[in-house]
Amino acid sequence: MKRSVLFLTLVIVALCAFATPPNLSCETIFGRKDIRKEGHKVVSVTGPGNYYRSVSSDNDPQLRDDIIKLVEKDKKRAFNVYETYENGKEKVILNIKNNEQVINVGLTWNEEGYINLFIQGPPEAFE
């Protein structure tokens, strides 16, 4: 009986370790109330095979700075990082693996306060 309980416990622990939420730092921005105000755009799309969230603003330097810091934290988890600067805008795309799936994080910003953040991937990557 003890062996069965131990075996079952180990199986449950293994399954929990395999399927863990990504806990992305940048995803916490969507819980903030200040992104749902004039001058901001928030999009959330969930469907078969796709999970997508984005937030953008044309003139919110504080939000821009907060998001940049959060994406920098997530950059440490990325297996692929693409960064570019063009026409006054900086862009970063991160590819992060979770649950054997790939989550894409994209960030575009400029010094005037423009910011656009998106998070996209299959729903299984976020479970």
Q: Quick check: 20 pLDDT over 80?
A: no
| Assigned token pair, 101 | 């799936």
Residue 104: which domain range?
22-126
> Which residues contact residue 9 at a Cβ distance below 8 angstroms, ignoring those fewer than 6 apart?
none
Contact between 45 and 30 under an 8 Å Cβ cutoff? The reply is: no
Q: Quick check: 15 pLDDT over 50?
A: no
Contact between 70 and 61 under an 8 Å Cβ cutoff? The reply is: no
Does residue 7 form part of some domain? no
Does residue 5 form part of some domain? no
Domain count, the chain: 1
Which DSSP string do the residues of 49-117 spell out, in sequence order? TEEEEEEEESS-HHHHHHHHHHHHHHHTT-SEEEEEEETTEEEEEEEEEETTEEEEEEEEE-TTS-EEE
Does residue 43 form part of some domain? yes
Q: pTM of the entire structure? A: 0.81
Q: What is the pLDDT of residue 11?
A: 45
Contact between 42 and 55 under an 8 Å Cβ cutoff? The reply is: yes
Does residue 8 form part of some domain? no
Does residue 9 form part of some domain? no
Does residue 78 form part of some domain? yes
**Distance from C-alpha of 111 to C-alpha of 48, rounded to nearest angstrom:** 37
Residue with tokens 């656009």: 116
The predicted-structure confidence for 45-77, as pLDDT tens digits, reads as follows 999 999 999 999 999 999 999 999 999 999 999
Q: What is the pLDDT of residue 112?
A: 86
Mean pLDDT, the chain, rounded, equals 86
Element (H, E) at 120: strand 115-121
Q: What is the pLDDT of residue 127?
A: 83
Does residue 1 form part of some domain? no
